[in-house]
Amino acid sequence: MKSDLLAAPHATAPPSSRRALIASVATELFHRKGYAATSMRELASVSGIEAPSLYNHFSSKETLLHEICFGMADAFVSTARRLAALDLPVEDRLARAIEEHLRLLFSDREAVGVFVNEWRHLSEPSLQTFKALRSDYEQFFAGLFQEGMLKGVFRQGDPLWLGRQLLLLMNGSIHSTARPDSEALANLGRRFYGLWMHGVASSTTQPD
């Protein structure tokens, strides 16, 4: 196995090796048309290559999917591990988690799209492993809410539900067309944080 170029957060930069080019094209096609609706021949054609040559770089179609999905999953989980170790008030850690999640999300939107929508086409045992990683990441967010509730910073509720909903919300942002620069990204993060913390009601109205 060569270097894991998928982990590097460059979306548009031209990959050096042929292998990385194929992975990048596959990511785009899997995202736009779906895994099942993308054929190896089309992938080859867009890559400027013949279909059999693909198998000099990837042993199967599913290997491509595997690499994309687990590349993103590892990135998310390792980010979560890093954030969990931070010594900050829980609401600040939440803000950081939102910010980092969005940063990762926009570092390669197409890969995230595949990660979010196409993972179900993985076969066992990869599927099990993937779900476990996904659950880890959800648990990290759930843990933030749980801790915040214990400390009285957050209203009571189901922490796992809240974690999943927040992730759902952020992941939906990849559908917005504009590619945000780092400033716009920070703004988006504050927007999510504000919405999640205080909702849409004007501050004059009171909670029930």
Partner DNA sequence: CGCGCGAACGAACGATCGTTCGTATGTTTG
Partner DNA sequence: CAAACATACGAACGATCGTTCGTTCGCGCG
Footprint on this chain of a second copy (rule: CB under 8 A)? 34, 36-37, 91, 117, 120-121, 145, 148, 152-155, 157, 161-162, 164-165, 168-169, 172, 175-176, 191, 194-208
Question: Where in 123-182 is the site for DNA (CB under 7 A)?
Answer: none
Candidates 24-32, 37-45, 84-92, 111-119; binding stretch for DNA (CB under 7 A): 37-45
The single-letter code of the amino acid at 166 is L
Among DNA, a second copy, none, residue 57 binds (CB under 5-8 Å by kind): DNA
Closest of 162, 153, 167 to residue 90, by C-alpha: 153
Nearest residue (CB) to DNA, 119 versus 137? 119
Nearest residue (CB) to a second copy, 7 versus 150? 150
Closest of 72, 66, 67, 141 to residue 105, by C-alpha: 72
Q: Do 102 and 166 meet the contact criterion of CB atoms below 8 Å apart?
A: no
Nearest residue (CB) to DNA, 18 versus 164? 18
Q: How far apart are CA 174 and CA 61, in angstroms?
A: 25
Size of the site for DNA (CB under 7 A): 20
Residue 17 region by backbone torsions, left for phi larger than 0, else alpha for psi between -120 and 50, else beta = beta
Nearest residue (CB) to a second copy, 84 versus 168? 168
| Closest approach of a second copy to the CB of residue 63, in Å | 18
89 touches DNA (CB under 7 A): no
| Closest approach of a second copy to the CB of residue 203, in Å | 5
Apex 26 CA angle, 23 and 27, nearest 5: 85
Closest of 9, 122, 139, 131 to residue 62, by C-alpha: 122
| Closest approach of DNA to the CB of residue 108, in Å | 22
| Closest approach of a second copy to the CB of residue 34, in Å | 6
Residue 34 region by backbone torsions, left for phi larger than 0, else alpha for psi between -120 and 50, else beta = left
52 touches DNA (CB under 7 A): yes
Residue 158 region by backbone torsions, left for phi larger than 0, else alpha for psi between -120 and 50, else beta = beta
Which residues are at the interface with DNA (CB under 7 A)?
1, 18, 38-42, 49-57, 59-62
